[in-house]
Chain A
Amino acid sequence: MLDEAATDTMITQISDSLYTHLIKTYDGNLPSAGLHSLDEIRTQAFERFKSMGFPTVKQEDWKYTNVQPLIGQRYSLDTEMPSGTPALDKALIPKLDAHRIVLVNGRYSSELSTDEEIPGLQIMPIEQAFDRLCFAKYFAAYADKTDNPFVALNTASFTSGLFIEVGKSRQLQKPIHIIHVAATDKPLFTQTRNLYVMGAFAEAEIIESFITEDGAEHNLNNQVSEIVLRENAKLQHYYLQVAGPQSNYLNHTEVHQEKHSLYNNYNCSFPGAAFVRNNINVQMGDSEVESHLYGIALTAGNQLVDNHTIVDHIKPHCESYEWYKNITQDTSTAVFNGKIFVRLDAQKTNAFQQNNNMLIGEKSAIYTKPQLEIFADDVKCSHGCTIGQFDNEALFYLRARGISEAQARVLLVHAFAFDVTSRFLNAAVREYVEHLVEEGL
């Protein structure tokens, strides 16, 4: 079927199958057909991808996160809707009243989504947004400046995704709940591209859940989300990773913020998905911008969850606040890498970062690396990192009051996660996440 002999100096032998498959099938016959400028962006991105190749553990950013076994497998690239309707119950959040958007293998399902007209809100499959002004302005404007090869690949050959635009001064009453379903009966590689644009003074809440259909085949999902917040916009953004072990994710989120905007990201991973790599980059493109990044990864089995974040302070008077917590069980691995840049121009920056880790599994692993690069002199920056285990004294105290060991552990993990979970503005999501913490232990 494929020419296994195809070689490329940039890649190793094992990654040939997905790589050659992508190369062979990349015929430029994209859904963007007709839009010359988009075609050009995509062709250039493909050249970039070819020159970078898939990353290896020799690269600092991928040191603990080996993608080779994943890309060494054969996948179908055909993301046509599977027959039958996938169940969504795994993504349901009790007490949450939201507009529901369902993407199956990245494709928008109008059947499963609450297809309603909301004034000031545009939601559509991304390919329908190609001729929009703000698409032309923001698509590939920031994410593609990074050196993540998966972004280049995604730009070159994404097949589906979601476009959301919240109009100027619109404040959405209800959150948007996006459910990403992996449902396939053959090994599948999907590439989804999302663009969310928050107009000036717009306010919204986007909650994204990742689930896997029961019995689904192995799947690898390369998703890129570009998010733009215009002046004074506010976005609360939740990632709830509750997919099954067959699913693997490469998620890149690129946020660009304009003056006075606020972006809050709450990034939660739970036992399930075998491989999760999140890149969350926030570019504070103007002054008086505020961003909060909260993360909680509770891992089990042989899972790997890797969160790489970049907060880039470019202009003065911005504030960033980041707090990630990892709890590893069994033989799982958690990786946290938090970069903060404070550029020369970014005086009066306030940047805070904290990463706390709780190693429960004796054979689990945690790799954490805070990285601060500060070029301005009048700034307030702090970072801290801790690694610990269960506090046996605390465990005994609770048990001595009649609480079972299992329940005592739940209480202590809740307590550990509390600094993060208590920041969740949406009470329904907070409760749901607390419940998932309990279930995940």
Chain B
Amino acid sequence: MLSIKNLHASVEDKAILKGLDLEVKAGEVHAIMGPNGSGKSTLGNVLAGREAYEVTEGEVLLDGSDLLALSPEDRAREGVFLAFQYPIEIPGVSNINFLKTALSEIRAYKGLPPMEARDFLKKVKEKQQLVEFDAKLANRSLNEGFSGGEKKRNEIFQLAMLEPKLAILDETDSGLDIDALRIVARGVNQLRADNNAFILITHYQRLLEYIVPDFVHVLYNGRIVRSGTKELALELEEKGYDWIKETVDA
């Protein structure tokens, strides 16, 4: 589904991704871990198309076609979804209106007619229940005055509503209480399917107990320096990153 080859990206002329390779197949869940500042969010932002991030080398293919050539909105319409590490607040834009607009634009892109109001509301209700997202929050302005955890939960609610092909969750687990973590994990597990894939960026092996990944990667200094299965996460939890840094830097 997603094929990243030798990806180099920089921000303000500072190289951050330095030759990153990653293959994600449909139906898979990949976890990406790594020390602070190693480039994990940068990877998410590059995939989502944030303008400040300049790709200087390499390629990213989504189902065989060039993802980097697309505008952010077209990437989303092609099924890329980034759950932000720090979702922003947009006062005055209602959550529901925002989702309705997003959904209808994605549908129009695919040549589908807009959803009937009734069906839309049914879907909202169903997904709200799935991720236990308070209906009161759904009707408020986008993230305005939401707690940190509520914002993260809203990202997952949006994910459930838009049903993307490739979801990248950037530290969605950070700032969630134990119950919220379980709910988010249950939501993701229910959304997992043969035709979609997840990339979970996380610092905590705890999340991976709830959402069991097929692969775990370590991103360090702009590259994937080690890949393994879920046991790698346990090992990192126990030993930290120093042993990896030492071997890489050597």
Query: Which A residues are within 8 Å of any B CB, using their own CB?
Result: 391-394, 396-405, 407-408, 411-412, 414-419
B77 vs chain A, min Cβ distance (A): 5
CA distance A393 to B90 in the complex (A): 10
- A-facing mask of B103-124, CB < 8 A → 1, else 0? 1011001000000000000000
Given contacts A401-B158, A403-B105, A411-B101, contact A396 B90 (CB under 8 A): no
Q: In the bound complex, what is the Cα–Cα distance between A397 and B49 (angstroms)?
A: 11
Number of chain B residues close to chain A: CB under 8 A: 31
- B204 contacts the other chain (CB 8 A): no
A396–B72 CA distance with the chains assembled, in angstroms: 8
Could you tell me if B93 and A399 are in contact, using CB atoms closer than 8 angstroms? Answer: no
Q: Are A400 and B48 in contact (CB under 8 A)?
A: yes
Mind listing 6 A-B residue pairs with CB under 8 Å?
A394-B90, A398-B98, A403-B76, A403-B101, A411-B90, A415-B91
User: Which of B71, B88, B106 meets A397, CB within 8 Å?
Assistant: B88
Taking a contact as CB atoms under 8 Å apart, the answer to whether A401 and B88 are in contact is: no
Q: Chain A contacts of B106 at CB under 8 A?
A: 402
Complexed CA–CA distance, A191 and B84 (Å):
58
Q: Nearest-CB distance from A132 to chain B (Å)?
A: 46
Complex CA gap A34/B109 in Å reads 71
Q: How many Å lie between the Cα of A412 and that of B162 in the bound state?
A: 21
The reply to whether B50 and A402 form a contact with Cβ atoms under 8 Å apart is no
> Is B225 at the interface (CB under 8 A from chain A)?
no
- The residue that A414 contacts in the complex, of B88, B93, B99, with Cβ under 8 A, is B93
Tell me which residues across on chain B come within 8 A of A417, comparing CB atoms.
92
Please report the C-alpha to C-alpha distance between residue A415 and residue B97 in the assembled complex, in whole angstroms: 11
* Residue ID in chain A nearest B101 by CB atoms: A403
What separation, in Å, do the CA atoms of A394 and B109 have in the docked complex? Answer: 22
Whether, in the assembled complex, B82 has its beta carbon less than 8 Å from a beta carbon of chain A, the answer is yes
B residues less than 8 Å from A404 (CB atoms): 73, 105
* Distance in angstroms between the alpha carbons of A22 and B88 in the assembled complex: 58
A417→B91 CA distance, assembly (Å): 11
Q: Which 6 A-B pairs have the closest CB atoms?
A: A415-B92, A402-B76, A418-B92, A399-B72, A401-B102, A402-B106
Interface string of B196-218 (1 = CB under 8 A from A): 00000000000000000000000
Given contacts A396-B51, A407-B105, contact A402 B90 (CB under 8 A): no
Chain B: interface secondary structure?
A: helix
Known contacts being A407-B101, A407-B105, A414-B92, is A399 close to B158, with CB within 8 Å?
A: no
Cβ–Cβ contact B98 & A401, under 8 A: yes
- B102 contacts A403, C-beta separation under 8 Å: yes
* B48 proximity list for chain A (CB < 8 A): 400
Interface: B87 (CB within 8 A): yes
Across the interface, B93 reaches (CB within 8 A) one of A393, A396, A415, A419, namely A415
Q: Are B88 and A394 in contact (CB under 8 A)?
A: yes
Nearest-neighbour CB distance to chain A for B163, whole angstroms, equals 11
Q: Are A397 and B87 closer than 8 Å at their CB atoms?
A: yes
A411 touching B76, Cβ below 8 Å: no
A351 to chain B: closest CB distance in Å? 24
Give bound CA distance, A359 to B97, whole Å. 25
Question: Do A400 and B82 form a contact, CB below 8 Å, given A405-B73, A407-B101?
Answer: yes
Distance in Å: Cβ of B147 to nearest Cβ of chain A: 18
Q: Which residues of B contact A397 (CB under 8 A)?
A: 84, 87-88, 90
Q: Residues of A contacting B87 with CB < 8 Å?
A: 397
A408 to B71, CA, bound (A): 13
Q: Once bound together, how far apart are the Cα atoms of A414 and B97, in whole Å?
A: 12
Given A397-B84, A411-B98, A411-B101, also A403-B90 (CB < 8 A) = no
Neighbouring B residues of A396 by C-beta, 8 Å: 50-51, 72
Residues of B within 8 A of A419 (CB): 92
Cβ contacts under 8 Å, B92 to chain A: 414-419
Q: With a CB–CB cut-off of 8 A, which chain A residues contact B51?
A: 392, 396
CA A407 – CA B102 in complex, angstroms? 10
Determine whether the beta carbon of B105 is less than 8 Å from that of A402: yes
CB neighbours of A402 from chain B (8 A): 73, 76-77, 102-103, 105-106, 109, 162
Asked whether, in the complex, the Cβ of B76 is within 8 Å of the Cβ of A401, the reply is yes
A418→B158 CA distance, assembly (Å)? 23
Sample of 11 more A-B contacts, CB < 8 Å, known A403-B76, A404-B105: A391-B90, A397-B84, A398-B98, A399-B73, A399-B76, A400-B76, A401-B98, A401-B158, A402-B76, A402-B77, A403-B101
